[in-house]
Amino acid sequence: MSGVEKILVHVRVNGEPREALVEPRTLLVELLREHFNLTGTHIGCDTTYCGACTVLLNGRTTKSCTMFAPMAEGGEIITVEGLSKDGELHPVQQAFAECHGLQCGFCTPGLLLSTVHLLSKTRKPSEKEIRKGIAGNTCRCTGYQNILKAVRAAAAEMGKS
Partner 1 sequence: MSQVPNARVEAVYFSSAGGETAVSSCLSAPIAIECARTTTNDFCRSPTADTRHPKRQAENIVYAHPFSYHRAGSLLEASELLQQLGEEARLIAGGQSLIPLMKMRMVRPSALVDINFIPGLSEIRCSDGQLRFGALARHADIEESDAASSIPIVQDCAAGIADVQVRNQGTIGGSLAEADPSGDWGAVLLTLETSVRCSRPSGERTIALDDFFKDAYTTVLGHDELISEIIVKQPAKNSAGAYLAFKRSAPVYATASAAVQLTLGDSDTCKDVRIVLGCVGLTAIRAKEAEKTLREKKLEKKRIDSAVEAVRAAAEPQDDMRGSADYKRVLIAALVKRAIGIAARRARGEQVEAGHEYVGR
Q: Choose between 62 and 79: whose C-beta lies nearer to partner 1.
A: 62
Torsion of CA 36, 2, 68, 90, to 10 degrees: -20
DSSP 84-134: -BTTBPPHHHHHHHHTT--SS-SSHHHHHHHHHHHHHH-SS--HHHHHHHT
Q: Choose between 124 and 132: whose C-beta lies nearer to partner 1.
A: 132
CB of 88 to partner 1, least distance (A): 27
Contact indicator for 137, 50 with CB cutoff of 8 Å: yes
Q: Choose between 54 and 146: whose C-beta lies nearer to partner 1.
A: 54
CB of 144 to partner 1, least distance (A): 8
Chain residues in the site for partner 1 (CB under 8 A): 1-5, 7, 22-27, 30, 34-35, 43, 45-49, 51, 54, 60-63, 66-68, 70-71, 73, 114, 117-118, 128, 131-133, 135-137, 144
